[in-house]
Structure formats: C-alpha cells, structure tokens
Amino acid sequence: MTTVRGTIYFRDSQSGAAESLSESIGRYLKTGDSQTLIQPWCVYGVVYGSRWLVTAANIEPMGTPDILTAPVIKVTYDLMYGAILGWDPDIYGQAPSIF
C-alpha cells in the first residue's frame, strides 16, 4: 500500500483550510486537493483525488499571536493510495474542499 506523509503550513488567516484538512480524516480527497498536497510528478495516481484517503492530519499551532508576527499552523498529514478502484464513497465519502 502506498502512503504519503506531508507537512503544510497555513497562516492564521487560513485556519479554516487547516481545520478542513483535519476534518477530512477517513474521507477521500477531491482531485484539486490531492494535487496540492502531493507534488503531481512524484507519485503515480495523484491526479485522481478519489484514490487518496486521508488517514491522519495533526494540527500544531506555532508561534504566539502578537502585533509583529502572526501565528502559523503546521499540519502533518498522512494519505493512503487506494489503487485503481479508489475508495468506496458509501463507506468513506468525499472530503470537503480544503483549498
């Protein structure tokens, strides 16, 4: 089984995207989101979002909010490839749009 682990950083103003990624655990990705989370040239099947299941998305706030610097949200995520058939939509469902 092919899996991908990635890390993405969001500005504080993008906290909704970080939350959407976290809420996507156990669901398969939309195609545009899979192309953003995985570099299209590094893993076969990346163009098909329905083949990638979000298995983990850990959120870590970094920094402290103050006048000079905005906090950053770090999300480390794991995706699992579901081969040609993808994931059964009746069981897993499609994740909400992240980006």
- Span 81-93, pLDDT tens digits: 887 778 888 999 9
Please state, rounded to an integer, the average pLDDT across all residues of the chain: 84
What is the secondary structure of 16-63 as a DSSP string?
A: HHHHHHHHTTTSBPPHHHHHHHS-TTTSTTTT-GGGEEEEEEEEEEES
Residue pLDDT, tens place only, 64-74: 666 566 778 99
pTM over 0.75: yes
pLDDT at residue 15 tops 80: yes
pLDDT at 47: 66
Burial 46-65 (b: 16+ CB within 10 A, else e): bebbbbbbbeebeeeeeeee
Q: What is the mean pLDDT of residues 25-45?
A: 80
Distances from the Cα of 97 to the Cα of 38, 46, 62, 71, 84, angstroms:
15, 16, 24, 23, 22
pLDDT at residue 42 tops 80: no
Strand partners, 9: 74
